[in-house]
Amino acid sequence: MSEFENVTAAPPPPPGVPTAEEKQWAMFAHLSALTALFTGGLGAVIGPLIVWLVKKDTLPFADDQGKEALNFNITVLIAVVALTIVGTILLIVLIGFLFYLAAGAIGIAWLVFTIIAAIKASNGEAYRYPLTLRLVK
C-alpha cells in the first residue's frame, strides 16, 4: 500500500451528518422550485418532485429536504389557487353588488328628479335635470 492512498481517501462523515453530495442535492431540491418563474408556477412543484424522486432512495438528507421542498411548494400552490378563487368570487360579488347598488341609486335619483320635474312643470316652472347630457337641442 502506498503512502498516497491514505492521504487522498476522505473519511466517511459521521452517522447522521449529510455528505457534500446530499447537501448539494438537498439544495437543488429547494432551488428547483425557482423554475416556477419560467413555467407559470407549476415548476415550483415539479422541480422538487423530480429531485426527490431521483434521489430519495440513495441520499437520506436529499430525501428529507426534497419532501420538505415539495410539501412547502404544494402548500403555497394550494394557497395561491384558493386565494385566486376566493378573490375572483369576491371581485365578481363586490362588482356585482356595486353595480346593483349604483343601478339602485340611479333608479332612485331618476324617480326623485322625475317627480320634482313633474311638480315644477305643474307649477309652470321650467326644470333642468342635473347631470344631464343635452343631446337634443
Domain boundaries, the chain: 17-122
Q: What gap in Å lies between CA 90 and CA 74, rounded to an integer? A: 24
Residue 125 has pLDDT above 80, yes or no: no
| Per-residue pLDDT tens over the stretch 17-76 | 888 898 999 998 999 999 888 888 888 999 999 999 999 999 999 998 999 999 999 999
Contacting residues for 67 by C-beta, under 8 A, at least 6 apart: 52, 56
CA angle 66, 71, 75 (to 5 degrees): 150
The pTM (predicted TM-score) of the whole model is 0.65
Q: Provide the pLDDT for residue 59.
A: 92
Q: Give the pLDDT band (50/70/90) at residue 120.
A: confident
Residue 32 identity (one-letter amino acid): S
Burial of 40 per CB tally in 10 Å (0-12, 13-18, 19+): exposed
